[in-house]
A and B are shown apart, each in its own frame.
Chain A
């Protein structure tokens, strides 16, 4: 995954995108919600990647999603608001199950059963790639780029994505 992140930075340029990671030093629930809130407050558009750190790349990619469309002026649709929708509301017992695994509330496609995707919180991670220039680097381009890299070059279809 590190190689891919470096590739993304090299291709798009660090002036055009920002990369953030949730879990740099172990999972912490307070930090998780701060991470979501920060992305919401900053109102940034881009993509988010849910990662199961117990697995090797590319099988560790659970889902790649986008927030914000370049052609629409959507104030409320940002990385924070989109990511928040995948988890149960902010109550201590709802984010994790009794084995400290992440509980997903839903995925975009009804074909994907969220109960079957339970990464351990210890190594769960979220990586976001936000765009600084939506007219040049759109969320749609970033999403399509990453999904194509994973599918076409690594022969893997992320667990919770429904179309590429």
Chain B
């Protein structure tokens, strides 16, 4: 892997295809590059099921549609720096703002949270107002909060807790309504999904590599 300075220089000066291909080779040599189309879904490697790094989505013409970074060094509640990233499971976890369903062979962009919440739970999000109807909000959140506790939360926090219930399985279950929930739905075959694995010991963080990739693609 290159140093932070080498990588920055390269992304600013080389053309995208040259830069990107070089990164694929370098990551592959370390066993840290995966192409989703070549994965055996029955034997997903641990570096993918517990993914840390940058996921790059490209169209057939090799244009980057989206990149996402997974893994940050954060502070805990006592302001100490956590030493480990929280891994992301692309098969089981929810992907936002895009969503990939291997089951339906689709990739969707432009997740519309309020539409999904309304279809999934019959709960309405209106700007600057508490989510309604209240009885449905209380029922949905009753496993962790009493109605009084919910009422004492701010509007934004209430919406966050309701929206968090709209997990991967819920969205998968709403497959027939995806054209309402997402702004754009494509066949997975029209995209390349590249996983660049970057862990805590790497010479740079996933967020930095994402910026590097985006910068190179934007030139």
Contact = CB atoms under 8 A, between A and B. Distances in A.
Interface of A: 7, 11-13, 70, 109, 111-112, 135-138, 140-141, 144-145, 147-149, 151-153, 157, 162-164
B12 A12 contact: yes
Interface centre among B9, B203, B215, B219 (most CB of A within 10 A): B215
Contacts of A141: 8, 211-212, 214-215
B79 A164 contact: no
Contacts of A70: 218
B5 A136 contact: no
B55 to A, nearest CB: 17
Interface string B195-219: 0000000011101100110110011
A141 B214 CA distance: 9
A144 to B, nearest CB: 4
Contact of B211 (A7, A136, A140): A140
B79 A144 contact: no
- Counting contact residues on chain B (CB < 8 A from A), the size range is 20 to 34
B74 A145 contact: no
A111 to B, nearest CB: 5
A145 B8 contact: yes
Nearest to A10: B5
Contacts of A152: 4, 203-205
Nearest to B72: A163
Interface string B1-42: 000110011001000000000000000000000000000000
A44 B72 CA distance: 27
Contact of A164 (B5, B77, B207): B207
Task: List the 7 shortest-distance A-B pairs measured between CB atoms, nearest first.
Answer: A144-B208, A141-B211, A148-B208, A144-B211, A163-B72, A163-B74, A164-B73
23 contacts: A7-B5, A11-B5, A11-B8, A11-B12, A13-B12, A137-B12, A138-B215, A140-B211, A141-B8, A141-B212, A141-B214, A141-B215, A144-B205, A145-B4, A148-B204, A148-B208, A151-B205, A162-B74, A162-B75, A163-B72, A163-B75, A164-B73, A164-B205
B81 interface: yes
Given A135-B218, A149-B4, A109 B75 contact: yes
Interface in B56-111: 72-75, 77, 79, 81
B156 to A, nearest CB: 14
Contacts, number: 66
Contacts of B77: 111
Contacts of A135: 218-219
B205 A112 contact: no
A139 B9 CA distance: 16
Nearest to A164: B73
Contacts of A11: 5, 8-9, 12
Nearest to B5: A11
B4 A148 contact: yes
Contacts of A111: 75, 77, 79
Nearest to B207: A144
Interface string B108-124: 00000000000000000
B211 A138 contact: yes
A12 B12 CA distance: 8
A103 to B, nearest CB: 19
A147 B12 CA distance: 18
